[in-house]
Amino acid sequence: MSSTHPFVFVAMGTMVSLTSVQPLDRATQDTVISAFVDLEERFSLYRDDTEASRFARGELNLHTVSDAFRSAYDEAILWRIATGGAFTPHRPDGVVDLSGIIKAFGIRNAGRALREAGVTDWCLNAGGDVLTSGRSADGEAWVVGIVDPADRTELFTQFTTGDERWAVATSGIAERGEHIWRMAADDTFVQVTVCARDIVTADVLATAILAGGREALARAQELDDIDVLACSAGEKVYASRCFLAA
């Protein structure tokens, strides 16, 4: 009989769940937790003692921050350039806020830790952003449900991972409201799901499309080989063929 080994914890203000086909020892569990906690302790703006908060207050600058902070900021800036500003690490007031990319870093780092520990078949979900590897316990591909933006208790569709699509990220306004800076003036998206090879690409481009609308959607599809499901405020749905077949 097939079985899985669930592991759940809270980090970065959200629930993180890991479903693994192989059992996880305590050292591996601790490494997965650290992948999120270490980033939270450096980049959280909700704590006064973090490097991000000190940078926001002007106590640190780009010459005095750690290499880890500078590297994360540099990667975020590259994404801002690539998306034409639809994704940005800067708040409207100028404060550097890397929360739009740091959770994806945590998921990415946790995935690397699992592979290094020899764990090959797993599904990691952090607040609705999902990274998978291998197969589920029954030998089938991992299937990720996508919630209905109009009814959070219902599923809108689903996505089957694999074939260079291991990551699924969703950005929307249903749970947190309007928490991003909008670039699009019309046909505003209320929820965007992006499926990609890696979780950072999926997460960043989902945010960028939500912020930038159809123009950002077209640009994102030129940037990388992705699948997209974008639901607009006007109840229009822009979907890759894989979603239409679901």
Alpha helices in 44-179 (DSSP H): 51-56, 67-82, 99-116
Non-local CB neighbours of 169 within 8 Å, separated by 6+ positions: 104, 128, 129, 130, 193, 194, 196, 199, 202, 203, 205, 206
CA dihedral 86, 92, 94, 96 (to 10 degrees): -60
pLDDT in tens, 44-84: 999 999 999 999 999 999 999 999 999 999 999 999 999 99
In percent, the amount of the chain with pLDDT more than 90 equals 81
Give the total number of structural domains in the chain. 1
pTM for the whole structure: 0.92
Which CATH number do you get for residue 184?
3.10.520.10
Tokens of 84: 């034409």
108-135: average pLDDT: 97
pLDDT of residue 115: 97
pLDDT in tens, 133-183: 999 999 999 999 999 988 888 999 999 999 889 999 999 885 544 445 545
Contact, 2 vs 20, CB < 8 A? no
Domain that holds residue 192: 5-244
> Mean pLDDT for the chain?
91
pLDDT of residue 183: 52
